[in-house]
A and B are shown apart, each in its own frame.
Chain A
Amino acid sequence: MSWDSKSPKISKRRRSSTSKDVPTKAAKSASLKALIIDNGGYTIKAGYNRDEEPQIIPNCIMKAKSERKRLFIGKQIDECRDCSGLFFLLPCEKGYITRWEVQKPVWDQLFGKDVCPINDNPTIITQPLFNFKSIQDCMDEIFFEEYEVPSLFRCNPTDLAYLNYAKENRLSRNEACLIIDSGYSFTHIIPYIKGNKFIQAAKRLNVGGKLLTNHLKDIISYRQYNVMEETYVINQVKEDTCYVCEDVKAELREAAKPFSKNTIVKNYVLPDFNNIRRGYIQQANKTDEKEESCQILRLNNERFVVPEILFHPSDIGMKSMGIAEAAVKSIYSCPKIDRKALARNIIIVGGNCKFPGFKERLYAELRSLLPDLWDVKVFLPSDPITYAWKGGGALLKLHDFKSNLVTRQDYEELGSAIIQERFNNFMIDDSRLDDSSKPPKEQTNFKYLEKLKSRSIFGKQELCPSGSSNDPTNEENGAASNSKNEQGEDGIVDSNKEESNSVSDEASQDSFQAVEVDKGKKSKVTQEKQSEDDVDIDSDVSEEDLTKSLELFPFGTGSYL
């Protein structure tokens, strides 16, 4: 509520463009034609930045039982008559390219004359977060030496999604966003703060579309037909029938009803690759002649239990948190100032977002997990699969983009290592990168802090020896133990000021908090001569606690504790 009015509507720096340099930029971007490739684990989205829509090409080589002596590379699968029992050769393992013997032919086919030739244009290709060095080496070699691209750029698909969102919504650079990319191999949750990735708070959930398809295949094979070999068909079944429900228990009750009264149970006509090329859900009261000879799959609770894994991986025994929980955790590992903005700019991309009800469910879960006063908004693009690809256009329009492009000359002169630095550090703030050297630094700092505390610079309060107060993952603990300190201190020093404040309204409390935060920061900085993220976060938390508890303990908490 209060932040709505506070958030600056007029931003000084817009990512997209300011009025001044529109003409020059427009001219530039018009002259720049680039090939954009979103190299996903299951499909490649490729096309030129001027194209409306990318081509979506399977990123795999397939072998069919019916057609021996032939491989179907990428798009060629359209030529395959009988897609039963397709055997997949996938280039990616857990989202990272490890089988070059598969990836190379797929690219060869993709960049061939009749699909999407490179023709000496700059190329932008996506790579997953923390793409391994050896994979990047190979990509460099393939693109510069084999395909001879004049210039290359690599970034994460979430970068592109962020840029696209920022452009579409004319977002100010200060507005933080949370991108959730739920794809075939995994689900990434990455916060963007001030236009940069905040990788310390990034999360990966090892659940993707592949796992869901395999799980569905497994349970159908156990309950009805053996479809273990029909990954391709079952993937279509998943796409056609599965959805995310609002409340599992209620949905299960509905599914438990007899089939006549049950709205969930559906008959799915499996393709026979003779008359029916792609399966479909059978209409309730119409019986087609065609269908009589076909196999029919009855889907009931499978329809919503399978996508549930995204929200509760523990359903299949995975020791991992679900997508909503991870998103909340990610938000809470970000600096406090940005958290509200993150909650109101959640963008979901990737194929799993196409499950009906996915957005609503995610919203409901986030809403219940995040504080009441925060606005939560989940944005689902019209096509979550190509959304990142479309961000390529926004990337080209960045004013400093041309300087980021790595030319073949750069590659030859500087070598892979340096240009990879450039790719990997794209949209990562350098100062934040320094912060990311947290683990060792944190410890030393903490020891330092401990020493300071023991010299009672912080006031009269007693030391809290628990190490948890500095652990961002264990925030509640930290807040609790820390608040003790801060309360003791502030209760003594400025109790008057705070008393008056506790009467005033929310907004002023907020600003007061901000002042306090600044004060805390400054004092600590001067004391330590070293600003450090974690301490700041902790102090934020503790001060929030402090203001809350002040209403309860207006005269300080020393006596109560």
Chain B
Amino acid sequence: MTISKGTLRGSNRIKENDKRRIIDESQRKRRQRKVMEMLESDNYHDDPHADLVMSKKVPKFEDNLEQRSSRTKRKERSVDYYQFKYRKNFQQLVDEDRAESEAKQRPSYMDIQCGESQLPSRHFCAVCGFLGQYNCLSCGTRYCSIRCMETHMDTRCLKWAG
């Protein structure tokens, strides 16, 4: 009796979900961060010229170089000079700015960043783009219908940025 009850009651979807790997909060955050990085990236693909062998010695912008050197006697600096002298990644720059702003007691780059919104977030189905009120149990992605859920399961869920 009890066994049959267990088999009869409850939705199949939930039972199936029990078997699935569920991503915890920290991992979801990591995935979210990866998505944000992707949205900030300049390119998705690799440099199409990466396989070309270009000699670095070859001046690439000759016309400009000639033109300016005729005007002035000052030393021409190669691009590499600036790149080398002022090579700092963004995080280093932000850290420097923070130190400087503390010394000068002014707001810094990070200070003016907007805080969290007071408004509740809206949820859009990741598959079709309409309002999606359900969460994927595994990864937390939103979807709106069984159909979209199935698409999501077949395509994106746990398939990338794990």
Contacts and interface: CB of A to CB of B under 8 A. Distances in A.
Interface of A: 63-65, 68-69, 71, 73, 85, 87-90, 93-94, 96, 98-101, 104-105, 108-109, 112-113, 129-130, 132-135, 137-138, 141-142, 145-146, 148, 199-200, 202-206, 210-211, 214-215, 217-219, 222-223, 228-229, 231, 248-249, 252, 255-256, 300-302, 305, 312-322, 325-326, 329, 433, 436-440, 473
A326 B118 CA distance: 10
Given A256-B130, A301-B129, A203 B112 contact: yes
B47 to A, nearest CB: 6
Contacts of A98: 88-90, 93
Contact of B47 (A87, A199, A218): A87
Contacts of B130: 252, 255-256, 301
Contacts of B124: 305, 315
B19 interface: no
Contact of B114 (A71, A211, A214, A321): A321
Contacts of B107: 130, 199-200, 202, 436
B9 interface: no
A88 B108 CA distance: 30
B45 A229 contact: yes
Given A85-B45, A134-B96, A113 B67 contact: yes
A229 to B, nearest CB: 4
B118 A148 contact: no
Interface in B112-145: 112-119, 121-122, 124, 126-131
Contacts, number: 199
Contacts of B106: 199, 433, 436-437
12 contacts: A87-B43, A96-B93, A112-B64, A113-B67, A130-B112, A133-B96, A148-B74, A200-B107, A211-B40, A317-B36, A317-B121, A325-B118
A90 B117 CA distance: 30
B114 A204 contact: yes
Given A129-B112, A317-B32, 7 more contacts: A100-B79, A113-B67, A134-B88, A146-B74, A252-B130, A315-B124, A321-B118
A94 B45 contact: no
Contacts of B72: 148
Contact of A202 (B112, B116, B126): B112
A466 B142 CA distance: 40
Contact of A96 (B76, B90, B126): B90
A130 B89 contact: no
Interface in B33-71: 35-36, 38-45, 47-49, 52, 54, 60-61, 63-64, 67
A312 B96 CA distance: 31
Contacts of B12: none
Nearest to A437: B105
Interface in B93-114: 93-94, 96-97, 100-101, 105-109, 112-114
Nearest to A66: B48
Residues of B contacting A: mostly: loop
A309 B53 CA distance: 41
B147 interface: no
B79 A104 contact: yes
Contacts of A217: 44
B96 A85 contact: no
B41 A214 contact: yes
A433 B107 CA distance: 10
Contact of A320 (B79, B97, B115, B122): B115
B78 to A, nearest CB: 9
Contacts of A219: 129
Nearest to A421: B104
A94 B77 CA distance: 26
B113 A206 contact: yes
Contacts of B83: 99-101
The 7 closest A-B pairs by CB, nearest first: A437-B105, A314-B121, A321-B117, A100-B82, A228-B44, A132-B93, A138-B86
A436 B93 CA distance: 21
A146 B114 contact: no
A312 B77 contact: no
A317 B89 contact: no
Nearest to A214: B39
Contact of A105 (B48, B61, B85, B119): B61
A49 B32 CA distance: 45
Interface-central residue, B42, B109, B112, by most chain A CB under 10 Å: B112
A256 B42 CA distance: 33
A300 B129 contact: yes
A64 B32 CA distance: 31
B86 A135 contact: yes
A313 B117 contact: yes
A138 B108 contact: no
B30 interface: no
B74 A132 contact: no
A358 to B, nearest CB: 18
A369 to B, nearest CB: 10
Nearest to A120: B71
Given A206-B113, A249-B131, A321-B116, A109 B61 contact: yes
A329 B60 CA distance: 49
Contact of B96 (A132, A142, A439): A132
B109 A130 contact: yes
A199 B112 CA distance: 8
A325 B101 CA distance: 26
